[in-house]
Chains A and B, each alone.
Chain A
Amino acid sequence: MTTLRVPIVLWVLLAVGCGQPGAYAEWKTYVSPGGEYRLRYLDPPWQVVEADGARVQLRVANNSERYGGVDSSLANKYELTVEPVGRRAEASARAEASAAAGRGEEIVVPPSPVETRSGDQGFEVVTRELGGEYLHRRLVWIDREGSGSIRLRFVTVPDPTEGEVDAMIDSVDVDPEAP
């Protein structure tokens, strides 16, 4: 019996699998019902607030709400809305930059090309509201196969150009089931 124990322990250890997990192994995946896009997010702290057709809203609550259970008036740390739009990525980014300047916002990153890890291409613009809370907006449009694009609209209190937000944008697949 004793001679069997060591091989059994080794077998159990090996049976759980070898190899390292890939990127986003701990992240969840949201696929829009119509298959327009696929998005990965880390839950917690991200949570889906509302999913309505191809539009989904997620957020990271502020600490007083998350840990104190207080429905405070403070802004969420991060908010993200993803939805399809009819305009192409570059035109959308340039239009948003003009609109942001008209609203008196600071352009932190002018319209710039982006590419996701799956090779989808688009444009982004980052602005900062010069109000009391210094809310940031990072808007990304990723072109679809035919016309239009998928828009990701981050509204954040922290800097939205940090690596974790980059990784979230990088994870987006547009029309993942398209041939």
Chain B
Amino acid sequence: MTRAATVLLGLVTLLSTAAAQAPETGEGLGAPRPGVARRPARRPPSPPRPEAPPEPDEEPWGGPRVELGYTHYALVDGFGGGDVHAGFFGGYLALGRFRLGGSAELGARDYRLAQDDALIRGTLIAGYQHLPLRPFVPYAGVVGSLGALIGKRFRTPATHAFGGAGLEVGADLNLTRTLYVGLGLGWSRVSMRGVGYDLWALRLRIGL
């Protein structure tokens, strides 16, 4: 009886000591049991990564460009009118120093004697662009255009075609890699109904 009491007392002491050393929190209930769960394989230490090289300066976009713009010129009517205000959609291919572009234009022409005319015109430009000054890109080129005036003369529908060629100089300013604004000034000599006209054109452009 004494031996049994001593053993029982010893067991109680051991349990109470273990309980005091590892308080029950319940956190270990989900833990894998020893001998059942596999140890995760240790990865070999990876070699130190080389530092990323510094970002090079962004190359300017060299692909085709599209643009929207506004143009103003005078196709005089001989009676104090003839101002043309038009919007256009166009673009160009930047082939190195060579620029090849075109646009389609839609607008209105002031006709002083009656209702204004509608105007449509297509233009092509081929020329040189100076790239070393980027983001500022001046250019110069030869321009050809073909268009038509649609209106009324003495209350009768009338359509007159016109066309000609000339020169344009201007510059683009690249604001970001692709976004740019541009300004162009052009002179063309066009013919309509057998009469020659000087077209001094201002072109404002914004494009991608």
- A-side interface residues toward B, CB under 8 Å? 9, 13, 16-26, 42, 44-46, 60, 63, 66, 77-78, 158, 162-164, 166-167
Contact = CB atoms under 8 A, between A and B. Distances in A.
A166 B142 CA distance: 40
29 contacts: A9-B142, A13-B166, A13-B189, A19-B196, A20-B198, A21-B76, A21-B195, A21-B197, A22-B78, A23-B78, A26-B78, A26-B193, A42-B154, A44-B153, A44-B158, A45-B154, A45-B156, A60-B154, A60-B155, A60-B156, A63-B156, A63-B157, A77-B155, A77-B156, A78-B155, A164-B114, A164-B153, A164-B154, A167-B113
Given A13-B189, A18-B189, A21-B196, A45 B76 contact: no
Contact of A45 (B78, B142, B158, B166): B158
A9 B196 CA distance: 17
B134 interface: no
B196 A16 contact: yes
Interface size class of B (residues with CB under 8 A): 20 to 34
Nearest to B199: A20
A162 B196 contact: no
A20 B64 CA distance: 36
Residue from A25, A60, A78 having most chain B Cβ neighbours under 10 A: A25
Contacts of B157: 63
Count chain A CB atoms within 10 A of each CB in B113, B142, B158 and give the residue with the most: B113
A24 B192 CA distance: 13
A21 B191 CA distance: 11
B142 A44 contact: no
B97 interface: no
Contacts of A158: 155
For the complex of A and B, list the 6 residue pairs with the smallest distance between their C-beta atoms, beginning with the closest. Answer: A163-B113, A23-B78, A45-B156, A164-B113, A25-B195, A26-B193
A80 to B, nearest CB: 11
Contacts, number: 68
Instruction: Give the secondary structure class of A's interface.
Output: loop
B107 to A, nearest CB: 19
B198 A163 contact: no
B79 A23 contact: yes
A78 B154 CA distance: 8
B145 to A, nearest CB: 13
Contacts of B155: 60, 77-78, 158
A78 B78 CA distance: 22
B183 interface: no
A9 B155 CA distance: 40
Contacts of B198: 18-20
Given A9-B142, A21-B195, A44-B156, A163 B114 contact: yes
Contacts of B177: none
Interface string B173-208: 000000000000000010111111110000000000
Contact of A162 (B114, B158, B192): B114
A29 to B, nearest CB: 14
Interface string B21-60: 0000000000000000000000000000000000000000
B163 to A, nearest CB: 12
Contacts of B114: 162-164
Contacts of A9: 142
Contact of A163 (B112, B165, B191, B196): B112
